[in-house]
Homo-oligomer: A and B are copies of this chain.
């Protein structure tokens, strides 16, 4: 008899018909003898509706009151799922964030979970009840409602699984697992049976939005076995586990891409100590998230060029910040370029295998794709290329690392 946390996202909870389908799925787990706690998101679109109300009421809404308003979305679905479970013959009750309680920091609208008191729901589960917990919400020491920030329900589920010492945390979503790459670009992309936390994090941070990054970090820290599955099929999902569990290590887990980057090049930057800090300090102060950074070698002229990427939406702000900092930095010219994309290969296997990057560079060169910047981590190599080549690059790399499956995948969405 396993203890399982099942988490259902907004698409799975969108309307009472889908909520009944979720109840049927939970019932199957209960009938199989598992003890189950369920974490639910608000109905798809509901959180946006509530956030918009807050913005209309005031662009500078008090985050404590914002939390009161938006937490209502998950409260509604938690009650409805408990009703649907009972109607399906499964004893169930809802446990709101303040009832458990889910203790969080008091950083309203971006709170962090600090502790979950599980005594009540463990007793209820021992009585054969399914515990239904609204995701995203918690309680500050002040006694006020908090929320975890958008997408926080994944984190709620993982934190609850950790607190309950659950055997597994199943995240039901609108995709049926994690793929080697985006099946819309590569029809022969394969669903991964397993992936490590580290790989999942690297894939998420380069644009594969299957799980909220914070939830994967927390799962890794607390050693919670995660599974990503579809609410709408019975296909096996992808298990996200620690590296020690990943027995058959593949060299590369997947190929990811991100079209939401923009490149900035500062030409003629004086090559002197402290100049890099003068560039990136003001950008950090403006909350601009700088990603890839390349500094050219000074060829003896006393100046260098510095290239880096920022989120495309922040490009105008970045140019403004750099323009104001121009006197301090002393660069000659600034060249923005929004026509770029980042392509990454990710895999824990590359820790112990040389030549991964070389394979990437050769495969891209063979197709005449120019690399504008490179960054590497322990388990990832990323390159910046012109955006029009992104699909070609993903396909070429998917084949070069031997990831192509035998038949076109049926899945509709996402890496």
Contacts and interface: CB of A to CB of B under 8 A. Distances in A.
A84 interface: yes
Given A56-B16, A57-B19, A99-B143, A66 B79 contact: yes
A76 B69 contact: yes
A167 interface: no
A93 B144 CA distance: 10
A79 B65 contact: yes
Interface string A157-179: 00000000000000000000000
A86 B58 contact: yes
Interface in A95-153: 96, 98-99, 143-145
Interface string A73-103: 1011011111110110000011010110000
A192 to B, nearest CB: 35
A50 B62 contact: no
Contacts of A19: 57
A68 interface: yes
Contact of A69 (B54, B58, B69, B80): B80
**How often does this chain occur in the complex, in copies?**
2
A334 interface: no
Contacts of A81: 57
Contacts of A145: 96
A319 to B, nearest CB: 32
A396 interface: no
B79 A69 contact: yes
A283 B61 CA distance: 54
Given A76-B50, A76-B72, A82 B98 contact: no
Contacts of A87: 57-58, 60-61
Contact of A65 (B16, B73, B83, B98): B83
A181 to B, nearest CB: 39
A53 interface: yes
A66 to B, nearest CB: 7
A62 B86 contact: yes
A57 B83 contact: yes
A68 B57 contact: no
Nearest to A55: B16
Given A53-B16, A96-B145, A143-B99, A68 B79 contact: yes
Contacts of A73: 72
Given A87-B60, A98-B98, A145-B96, A54 B80 contact: yes
A30 B80 CA distance: 39
Contacts of A94: 65, 68
A342 interface: no
A67 B20 CA distance: 19
A83 B76 CA distance: 21
Contacts of A214: none
Going nearest first, the 10 A-B pairs with the smallest beta carbon separation are A68-B79, A58-B87, A69-B79, A16-B56, A72-B72, A57-B83, A65-B79, A65-B82, A61-B83, A57-B84
Given A64-B93, A66-B79, 14 more contacts: A17-B56, A19-B57, A50-B76, A57-B80, A57-B84, A57-B87, A62-B83, A65-B93, A68-B75, A69-B83, A72-B75, A96-B145, A99-B143, A99-B144
23 contacts: A16-B53, A16-B57, A19-B57, A20-B57, A57-B84, A57-B87, A60-B87, A62-B83, A65-B79, A65-B80, A65-B86, A65-B93, A65-B94, A68-B78, A68-B79, A68-B94, A69-B75, A69-B76, A69-B83, A71-B75, A72-B76, A96-B145, A98-B98
